[in-house]
Amino acid sequence: MSHQHAKLAKTFLAQSKKADWHDKTLWKVRKLRDKVSGEVDEFQELREMASQIKKHTLTHLDEYLLQFERKAQGNGIAVHWARDAREHNEIVHGLLKEKKITQVIKSKSMLTEECELNRYLKERNVNVLDSDLGELIVQLRRETPSHIVMPAIHLNKEQVGEVFLQEKLTEEYSNDPQYLTFRARTYLRDKFLNHEASLTGVNFAIAETGGIVVVTNEGNADLGVNLAKVNIHCMGIEKIIPSFKNLEFFIRLLARSATGQPISVYTSHYHKPRPEQARHIVILDNRRSDRLGEERFYEALKCIRCGACMNTCPVYRNSGGHSYTYPIPGPIGSILAPKMDLKKHRDLPFASSLCGSCTYVCPVKINLHQQLFDWREEIAKSDESFVKKKYLSYFLVKLFSRHFLTKFFFGLLKWLLRVTPKTFLKRNNWGKYREFPKIPQESFAEWYSKNGKNFERET
């Protein structure tokens, strides 16, 4: 059953020391999340509130989007709508072209990864510079982020040092995080002061006030927004929340879930542009509205991109973000991806042991593991089903519907395990890493048919 994720995971695990570090480090973040969320007695109530606000917003999304548009326009912000990634990129490009801008500085936005905006603009001679340190690192390495909050978590400091030297951010090799961060700071400050356009993602868009909230630790989004003449904020339709006051829940949850901080360093609320500034918001659909009609899947749109599901997911921790075929990895990515391209991502819902930890850490209570299960059903029904899984399941259903067939099957299995040479047993995916169970003298059913009656008489 060809699983792309499994293959890439194998490659990831081959570098065992690094893989262990990856697992350990992200687990540390999960523990930090436990510690800091544990300081808030009403944490579970906050999750429930956030979930319900999002659910409400999603079933009234047209009204809130319209309200947001009206209010934003009232604030002097231009609002643009994009049906898909292509249109999104065209809009952004158009806005830059109009002002003859060829350099744009961008803070973290998973949405622009989804749209492959950087590549699109590059092909049209517009250079996008990623300003989040992690994103800068992966951009310099011509890679994509492997985590939505910690984009370069798959790299060690030596690799960062190497690419900094190669790209001339440093003059001599260093692997000191403090120094490397300082060099990136110096390099980017110059760009912040010179670039005419800034691009950011959006954490929350407030319908009531027509403003947006952007959350960072590094301050890169704010430098961009406050220094550039043209601000472009890109958001998915699901980023809307009804009111300003609603932020009280989301801001309390976001950083605690994401990094285990009580709040991120900068939680910035942007409404009116400064007089000399132009502010644009691009609202992207890209099949999100289609998902709204699906009862089993629409709650994925509640996601606030905190990454907690990745940090807790043992499969993610042990396979790395690049083993997922979608820009957003981990459990949330695995339920978003199939909607975008079922054929390409059909193995992702199977890249989970369905342990359920993701659902339990999600600050907006997305039923992640349930959706992973439900996507498996969708895939099974579709033309992209896994042939082997299909026939195996059909076979097992037939088998387990009849007792004598079940008994015969297990008899055969035990016989096969007994007579097959050990080297042969080691070739399949179970035997590669594990011994098969020992074969007992008799089954319980056999024991029971001999002894059960005796015990029956005793009582």
**Where in 199-258 is the site for another protein (CB under 8 A)?**
206, 208-211, 217-220, 222-223, 226-227, 237, 242, 244-245, 247-249, 251-252
Picking from 189, 216, 212, 191, the residue whose alpha carbon sits closest to that of residue 202 is 212
- Residue 427 interacts with another protein (CB under 8 A)? no
Which of 165, 271, 342, 425 is close enough to bind another protein by CB under 8 A? 271
Cα gap 446→434, rounded to integer Å: 27
Question: Considering the complex, what minimum distance in angstroms separates the CB of residue 248 from another protein?
Answer: 4
Q: Of 114-122, 293-301, 325-333, 334-342, which part binds another protein (CB under 8 A)?
A: 293-301
Q: Which of 15, 173, 416, 440 binds another protein (CB under 8 A)?
A: 440
Residue among 100, 381, 418, 422 that touches another protein (CB under 8 A) = 381
DSSP state of 109: -
Distance of CA 170 to the CA centre of its chain: 32
| Cβ atoms of 107 and 136 closer than 8 Å | no
Per-residue b/e over 147-179, b at no fewer than 16 CB within 10 Å?
Answer: bbbbbbbbbeeeebbbbbbeeebbeeebeeeee
Site for another protein in 89-108 (CB under 8 A): 90-91
CB of 452 to another protein, least distance (A): 6
How many Cβ atoms are within 10 Å of 388's Cβ, its own excluded?
10
Q: Which CB atom, from 171 or from 295, has the smaller least distance to another protein? A: 295
Distance CA 1, CA 323 (A): 16
Judged by beta carbon, residue 290 or residue 341, the one nearer another protein is 290
Return the residue of 17, 100, 125, 295 that touches another protein, per CB under 8 A: 295
The reply on whether position 292 binds another protein by CB under 8 A is yes
Candidate list 269, 343, 427, 450; residue touching another protein; CB under 8 A: 269
Beta bridge partners of 282: 80, 234
Q: Is 343 in the site for another protein (CB under 8 A)?
A: no
Q: What is the DSSP secondary structure assignment for residue 356, as one 8-state letter?
A: -
Q: Pick from 383, 419, 455, 457 the residue near another protein by CB under 8 A.
A: 455
> Does residue 174 touch another protein according to CB under 8 A?
no
Does residue 173 interact with another protein by CB under 8 A?
Answer: no
Task: Report in angstroms how near the CB of residue 237 gets to another protein at its nearest.
Answer: 7
Contact criterion met (CB below 8 Å) for 313 and 321: no
Cα 318-324-327 angle, rounded to 5 deg: 125
Instruction: Decide: is 423 part of the binding site for another protein (CB under 8 A).
Output: no
Alpha carbons 73 and 95: distance in angstroms, whole number: 17
Is residue 42 involved in binding another protein (CB under 8 A)?
A: yes
- Cα–Cα distance between 15 and 77 in angstroms, integer? 49
Least distance (Å) between residue 122 CB and another protein:
21
Find the shortest distance in angstroms from Cβ 126 to another protein: 19
Q: Is 139 in the site for another protein (CB under 8 A)?
A: no
* Rounded-to-integer distance, Cα 254 and Cα 241, Å: 14
Under the criterion CB under 8 A, does residue 307 sit at the interface with another protein?
no
CA–CA distance, 279 with 198 (Å, rounded to integer): 10
Kindly tell me which residue out of 17, 100, 422, 437 binds another protein, with binding defined by CB under 8 A.
437
- Please name the amino acid found at residue 292: L
The whole-angstrom separation of Cα 138 and Cα 154 is: 10
User: Which one of 125, 401, 423, 454 is in contact with another protein (CB under 8 A)?
Assistant: 401
Binding to another protein, residues 9-38 (CB under 8 A): 9-10, 13, 19, 23, 25, 27-29, 34-35, 37-38
Residues 106-125 that bind another protein (CB under 8 A): none
Q: Which of 4, 143, 285, 340 binds another protein (CB under 8 A)?
A: 285
442 vs 127: CA distance, rounded Å = 71
Q: Pick the binder of another protein from 44, 127, 166, 420 (CB under 8 A).
A: 44
Rg (CA), the chain: 26
Q: How far is the CB of 258 from another protein (least distance, A)?
A: 11
Bridging pattern class, strands 230-236 and 197-200: parallel
Q: How far is CA 210 from CA 70, 156, 230, 240, 432, in A?
A: 7, 41, 18, 10, 57
From the list 118-126, 165-173, 330-338, 427-435, the region that binds another protein by CB under 8 A is 427-435
**Residue 378 near another protein by CB under 8 A:** yes
Count of alpha carbons within 13 angstroms of residue 36, beta-carbon side: 21
Which of the ranges 49-57, 110-118, 120-128, 326-334 carries the binding residues for another protein, by CB under 8 A? Answer: 49-57
For residues 337 and 325, give the distance between their C-alpha atoms in angstroms, rounded to a whole number.
8
Binding segment for another protein (CB under 8 A), chosen from 76-84, 96-104, 116-124, 325-333, is 76-84
Residue 235 in tokens: 């958001």
